[in-house]
Amino acid sequence: MISSKVIEVLTPLFNTITSAKGKTIRQIKEELFIGDKCKMKKGASGLIVENLLGVENNNRDEADLPQIGCEIKILPLQKNKDGSVKAKEPTAIQMINYCEVATETWKTAKLRSKINLTFWVVYLAKENGASKKQDDYVIVDYFLDHPSDVQNEIFKSDWEDIQAYILRGEADKLSCSMGTYLEPKTKGANNQDKTNAPDGNGGVIRARRRAFYYKKNYTNTQIIPKLNLSAITEND
């Protein structure tokens, strides 16, 4: 259940994104007076949206909005030639600490605090098979996600499958093809970017760094159908 405090904290953010619907990242940069100061490297558009919301980017374990335990996630969309709208890519949640996950249960898993309450901000990043420049991304909508018991059972099943690989010493056999809502996707500088993982016999091996990601299946079926897509479909 969403508390009154959550609504109180998030209402200004809801209003900010509502006012930004249909605007491009370039227009938002101009309104924030950051213009040419911001180099549009990979991921810069997401940082600009966080700037718009007044949220500081961080890689800490705590939530982006710690007072209500809420994460902020940016979801890029692609609009296909047939008019359908889908997630452009999986969405990173947090890095996997193999040795830590091996000692957790689902009840104590740190991942749970990262998926319990999420404020999704959505923009159009690809259209008719062509990726847009980040300055031309269009703000579409927002969605507040608080997974149901049914959804959490699916997250739990995915997490336990990933943990089972880790416990067997098979962290390097984890694949992004796994899972229904969660996938363990590689995330590192290159194939040699490795970290410690259990070997299944009380020792330690080295395995490629991976992170928990929301699969596109989750955002395509549980987030996108609940969005107001008029900002990108009204002229169809």
Q: What distance in Å separates the CA atoms of residue 138 and residue 49, rounded to the nearest whole number?
A: 11
Q: Which DSSP letter does residue 65 get? A: B
The pLDDT of residue 58: 61
pLDDT tens track for 46-79: 889 998 998 876 666 778 999 999 999 999 999 9
Q: What distance in Å separates the CA atoms of residue 172 and residue 121, rounded to the nearest whole number?
A: 32
Beta strands (DSSP E) in the chain are 71-79, 85-87, 91-95, 118-127, 130-131, 138-145, 182-186, 194-198, 204-208, 210-214
| Identity of the residue numbered 111 | L
Q: Which residue has the tokens 């479909």?
A: 233
* Mutual angle of helices 4-20 and 44-53, in 10-degree steps: 120
The pLDDT of residue 53: 93
Q: Looking at the DSSP assignment, which residues form a beta bridge with residue 86?
A: 78
Q: Which DSSP letter does residue 133 get? A: P
The pLDDT of residue 34: 79
Domain map of the chain by residue range?
4-233
The pLDDT of residue 43: 73
Q: What distance in Å separates the CA atoms of residue 50 and residue 55, rounded to the nearest whole number?
A: 5
CATH of span 4-233? 3.40.600.10
The pLDDT of residue 23: 94
- pTM reported for the whole predicted model: 0.93
The pLDDT of residue 148: 97
The pair of three-digit structure tokens given for residue 160, joined into one six-digit string: 């336990």
The list of the chain residues with pLDDT below 50 reads none
The pLDDT of residue 56: 73
Strands 118-127 and 138-145: antiparallel
Q: What distance in Å separates the CA atoms of residue 55 and residue 9, rounded to the nearest whole number?
A: 12
Neighbours of 109 (CB within 10 A): 19
The answer to whether 184 and 96 have CB atoms below 8 angstroms apart is: yes
The pLDDT of residue 47: 87
